[in-house]
Amino acid sequence: MRKRLGRYKNRLMAISIAAVMMISIAGCGNAENQNADTTSDTEVVTEASSDDETTEDIDEVAESNSFIKKTDITIDEEITNDADGEHAIEADGEDAEYSNVKVTKTGEADGDEADFYGENAAIFATNGATLNLEGILVETNGTHANGVFSYGEGTTVNIKDSYIETTGNCSGGLMTTGGGTTNAENLTIHTTGNSSAAIRSDRGGGTVTVSKGSYTTEGTGSPVIYSTADITVNDATLTSTASEGVVVEGKNSVTLNNVTLTADNNKKNSDKSDCYNAVMIYQSMSGDAANGEASFTMKGGSLTNKNGDIFFVNNTVATISLEDADIVNEDSDGVFLRAAAAGWGNEGSNGGQVTLNASDQTINGDMIVDSVSNLNLYLKDSSSFEGAINTDGQEGEVYVELDSDSTWKLTGDSYIISLTCDADSIDLNGYKLYVNGKEYEEGTESKGEAIEVTVTEGGGDMGDMPGEPPEGMDNPSGGDGNTPPEPPEGKDGNRPEKPGEKSDGNSDAPPEKPDESN
């Protein structure tokens, strides 16, 4: 069946490309399942006046930070829903199309049914549906009121030239779980609530591809991207004003191609770490993401960090691949890479195991690798590194390999375990480099061996997360992050009982998950 709402003679009138200033982030927790009959409390208003509809409820601040503004979208219809747990639009096992529609969602939810299964999302697709959206204006104001949600294997949401704004806590812009697929092009997403990433995933993951547009978050615990999936973003502008720019959890990935990322992580969502950072890669041990190798890839574009470190890796194995990206840390006290234990995982084995591949890449800043962590650093294709490694002495094992075209200029005494380089690759710059306790002599060739990395597969135990969900969340669904979660039976409220409830997200600083893994 092909369901169509909207009069397609009126398409998107104009797309105004404006300067982007700021952007934010998000993620969250649990909900009681409701009867979700989207007709009982859903109002459809057709043939709205475009002059009236495209000017009402305009947030001037968000508008100034957007590529597509609310006023750029022609509104032919309005669909609203204010019932707890329900949806304004739902595609269940069918093909559906909507265009030039304003979708307004209020109402509350409070847990896993919202974050895992899509309860209370404004727009929801499930059971193998294909949902095509164009010229959509989505506004949500409620706890756990995600904007657009794709759930389950075989389900695909395609959305373009649209605007999504969420103001409640635990309310992301795009949400993908259970193996769903989301394809987005030229969106403006603006979230202001806590734990509300602009681009989110949760238990069971999926595949997300985002191209062009502007994605901004303002809340605590709201990175622009929170990944328990495979997420690729191309040619877009990402900004966080309180949280990390990107968080990757467990055996999942984020790839940024020609993206402008600005991160200002300045508020704590967890007491598990003292570090502020632009990109965090870790394993929470919550069961929401499988154990295994995480990856972050950045090709071209720029990353500007306002506070703290650029990269922080803990309690996981991670590969970071950088190619010709302009990376700037505006915090003179921050480091380029920190691989170290934090409050997640088991003490003594919860460090970061990092492979950092740099190709045609400039790296400025120190690297710190603690005693339960390790680093394999590969500099190739005319890459340059200006900085020091473990200036306070030998801690974790570090291997550095430079090809014949790449260089390392020290900015402090450095301590590593193994080194491969040509005779003219390293400029000591007046400092000392110690390789396995022996002082390196400038102008000499070296041959070393990389550090063996141990990858542990499978799921984890309980822990709490830095960005999503907030503390107070239970782990009722079990799961190891490898397979999509099963939704509660029916949608009639007969889900299994859960041992605890999540925070309702109404506090200024959402609590973390309880730490039961240490």
> How far apart, in whole angstroms, are the C-alpha atoms of residue 175 and residue 183?
11
397-406, 424-433, 475-484, 489-498: which range is least confident on average? 489-498
Q: Which two tokens stand for residue 107?
A: 């109402």
499-512 CB burial, b ≥16 within 10 A, e <16 = eebbbbbeeeebbb
Banded model confidence at residue 269, pLDDT cuts 50, 70, 90: confident
pLDDT for 110 equals: 83
Q: pLDDT (tens digit, 9 = 90+) per residue, 143-201?
A: 999 999 999 999 999 999 999 999 999 999 999 999 999 999 999 999 999 999 999 99
Which DSSP string do the residues of 262-279 spell out, in sequence order? EE---S-S-SS----EEE
* C-alpha dihedral, 79 to 80 to 86 to 90, nearest 10°: 10
Banded model confidence at residue 270, pLDDT cuts 50, 70, 90: confident
> How far apart, in whole angstroms, are the C-alpha atoms of residue 354 and residue 58?
45
- Has this prediction a pTM greater than 0.85? no
Q: Which residue has the higher pLDDT, 29 or 401?
A: 401
Q: Which residues contact 430 (CB under 8 A, 6 or more apart)?
A: none
Which phi and psi angles does 256 have, rounded to 5°?
Answer: -115, 120
> How far apart, in whole angstroms, are the C-alpha atoms of residue 128 and residue 484?
13
pLDDT for 9 equals: 33
Mean pLDDT of 317-322: 98
14-23, 385-394, 449-458: which range is least confident on average? 14-23
Q: pLDDT (tens digit, 9 = 90+) per residue, 371-383?
A: 999 999 999 999 9
Mean pLDDT of 389-409: 97
Mean pLDDT of 360-365: 98
Fill in the DSSP letter of residue 96.
E
The answer to whether 232 and 273 have CB atoms below 8 angstroms apart is no
pLDDT for 486 equals: 52
- Nearest Cα to Cα of residue 10 among 44, 47, 57: 47
Q: pLDDT (tens digit, 9 = 90+) per residue, 429-476?
A: 999 999 999 999 999 999 999 999 988 775 444 334 454 443 333 333
Banded model confidence at residue 498, pLDDT cuts 50, 70, 90: very low
44-48, 108-112, 319-323, 395-399: which range is least confident on average? 44-48
- Nearest Cα to Cα of residue 191 among 235, 157, 226, 158: 226
108-122, 315-329, 490-504: which range is least confident on average? 490-504
> How far apart, in whole angstroms, are the C-alpha atoms of residue 342 and residue 499?
27
Q: What amino acid occupies position 380?
A: K
35-46 CB burial, b ≥16 within 10 A, e <16 = ebebeeebeeee
pLDDT for 112 equals: 87
98 - beta bridge partners? 5, 133
Q: Which residue has the higher pLDDT, 25 or 390?
A: 390
| CA end-to-end span of the chain | 51
The share of the chain scoring above pLDDT 90, in percent, equals: 71
The answer to whether 296 and 248 have CB atoms below 8 angstroms apart is yes
The answer to whether 130 and 158 have CB atoms below 8 angstroms apart is yes
* C-alpha dihedral, 225 to 471 to 249 to 489, nearest 10°: -90
Q: Residue 426 class from Cβ within 10 Å (0-12 exposed, 13-18 middle, 19+ buried)?
A: buried
- Nearest Cα to Cα of residue 394 among 374, 421, 365, 364: 374
pLDDT for 329 equals: 98
Banded model confidence at residue 207, pLDDT cuts 50, 70, 90: very high
Q: Residue 471 class from Cβ within 10 Å (0-12 exposed, 13-18 middle, 19+ buried)?
A: buried
pLDDT for 137 equals: 98
pLDDT for 241 equals: 97
* C-alpha dihedral, 328 to 284 to 294 to 117, nearest 10°: -110
pLDDT for 416 equals: 98
pLDDT for 505 equals: 34
Banded model confidence at residue 483, pLDDT cuts 50, 70, 90: low
Run of H or E including 34: none
Banded model confidence at residue 489, pLDDT cuts 50, 70, 90: very low
pLDDT for 186 equals: 98
- Rg for the chain, CA atoms, rounded: 23
- Looking at the predicted structure, is the pLDDT value of residue 254 above 60? yes
The answer to whether 444 and 435 have CB atoms below 8 angstroms apart is no
- Nearest Cα to Cα of residue 224 among 297, 158, 280: 280
The answer to whether 371 and 395 have CB atoms below 8 angstroms apart is yes
Which phi and psi angles does 114 have, rounded to 5°?
Answer: -75, -50
Q: pLDDT (tens digit, 9 = 90+) per residue, 48-95?
A: 333 343 334 434 444 444 489 999 999 999 999 999 999 999 999 999
Longest dimension (CA), the chain: 78
209-213, 344-348, 465-469: which range is least confident on average? 465-469
- Looking at the predicted structure, is the pLDDT value of residue 502 above 80? no
Q: What is the rounded average pLDDT for all residues in the chain?
A: 82
Q: What amino acid occupies position 447?
A: K
Which phi and psi angles does 229 have, rounded to 5°?
Answer: -145, -170
> How far apart, in whole angstroms, are the C-alpha atoms of residue 472 and residue 125?
28
pLDDT for 487 equals: 54
C-alpha separations of 312 from 34, 246, 303 in Å: 39, 11, 14
